[in-house]
Amino acid sequence: MKKKLIQIVYDMRTQPVVAWVTIIGTALSIFLIMTVMMMQQVKIISIAPESHRDRMLYGMFLHEDGISSDAENESSAGLSYETAKKLYDKLDGVEEISYVEQGWASLDLKGTNNKKFTGDVLYADDGIWRVFDYELLDGRYYTPEEVDAGTKVAVVSRSTARKLFDSEDALGRRFELDHETYEVIGMVADVSKLTFMAYGEVFAPLDKSKTYGESDSDFGPYMTLMRVKDGVDLEDVRAQVKKRYGELDAEIASRNMKTVYHGAPFDQETVAGGVGGSNITPQDTNGLRIVIYLILLLVPAINLSSMLHSRLRRRVSELGVRRAFGCTRKRIMGDIIVENLIVTVAGGIIGFAVGVLFALFYDGLYTSPDDETVRPALSMLLNWRILLSAFGACFILNILSASVPAWQASRLNPVEAINAK
């Protein structure tokens, strides 16, 4: 390894332009790859309070269509509470479930300081506290009895408590939420909008009676959040839900209607990529993402391969001498690839560091579902999946850029190589 480092330093001194272009080119390539990866990974990696994203499923919509041409109009929207229970309650393999209103509502808040401002309110049942792992700083969470009774209690985030009361001493104090009086019973740590399913500044018990249209409507503003047991196949849960869709078909057949199944419930990656709508089957975007990654690796690899070939042309005589003294072609190929890997990793570290700084400080790279600019925390970016992705990108880039020049160098005729200038 020491000899390889000496060789790299020598190349940088004798061919500074080529060497530094190689490092900078590698850094730029890794920077671009890491930026794309981080934009995706932040949406799907497990980060508190969504600490089990790999085991989450979301039941979001219902789509009904007419059985015949004289049927009622096609309808698709969120779920009523009763429909959500029919489709998702007590599924085998699901360890926790919560019913919430879809998304957060931006509503008027006013505390004891009489300052009115807009806050993001998530209406949810008590299951929300078990599905996600919020950090409770003070007080308690609301109970199933308080949800059923429609008790006007709320859990607020730390920053919201400060806005409402100019203090974090919020327990037992009252505030106005959408012109109704609520009592604070708990305070949690602030939640990032990047954890978009768990996010809220105020958490209040949901009203289970809301529907769209008639009182017995299948549609409403609700969705389900489900955490499956460790080791359970998500497809097994979907199979149960699909069966329940069939049972719902039997119920609504009297109205000359049938359900249209779109693959619900959806996993974290599907939701993060955008479901598309209540009457659309989400498309698998993994193939497209892989193509993008390959393009980001292949294009710079071709340029870096040319740079490595240029560096090796200055070492033809050295390679000829090594071959003349019995160094195998395999050994020469291995040495060149390892030397290039060291350079690639050095450039990768620079590119990764610049990528992290760019993600932390560049406004507009990350947006929330309501299109608000959000800056991620450093802990969201420095996780094992992104670090392994960076190392893997460096390794693949090295193989793509070094294999052909290393193979060509190993095939040199020793006599011709020694006499080459």
Residues 6+ apart with CB under 8 A from 250: none
pLDDT(13) > 80: no
d(CA 398, CA 182): 60
pLDDT value of position 74: 82
> What are the residue boundaries of the structural domains of the chain, listed by start?
2-47+285-419, 61-264
d(CA 304, CA 308): 6
Average pLDDT in the chain: 85
pLDDT(210) > 70: yes
pLDDT value of position 333: 81
pLDDT(251) > 80: yes
Pairing of the two strands 202-205 and 174-177: unpaired
Using CB atoms within 10 Å of the CB of residue 396, give its burial: 0 to 12 exposed, 13 to 18 middle, 19+ buried.
Answer: middle
**Tokens at residue 164, please?**
């409402």
- What's the farthest any 2 CA atoms get from each other in the chain? 92
pLDDT value of position 98: 97
pLDDT value of position 107: 95
pLDDT(225) > 80: yes
- Cα distances from 30 to residues 5, 27, 125, 281, in angstroms, run 22, 5, 44, 34
**Tokens at residue 331, please?**
């050994």
Pairing of the two strands 62-66 and 75-77: antiparallel
pLDDT value of position 57: 97
Residues 6+ apart with CB under 8 A from 409: 312, 315, 319, 332, 333, 336
In terms of pTM, does the model score above 0.75? yes
d(CA 312, CA 310): 5
pLDDT value of position 387: 76
- Cβ count near 117 (within 10 Å): 12
Q: Which of the pair, 319 or 64, is modelled with greater confidence? A: 64
pLDDT(131) > 60: yes
d(CA 84, CA 207): 14
When pLDDT is averaged across residues 98-125 and rounded to a whole number, the result is 92
pLDDT value of position 3: 63
d(CA 155, CA 160): 10
Q: Which of the pair, 288 or 96, is modelled with greater confidence? A: 96
Residue with tokens 């299951």: 127
pLDDT(6) > 70: no
When pLDDT is averaged across residues 260-268 and rounded to a whole number, the result is 94
Q: What are phi and psi of 199, to 5 degrees?
A: -70, 145
Q: How confident is the model at residue 155 (pLDDT cuts 50, 70, 90)?
A: very high
Query: Coil, helix or strand for 355?
Result: helix
pLDDT value of position 380: 75
Residues in the chain: 421
When pLDDT is averaged across residues 222-231 and rounded to a whole number, the result is 96
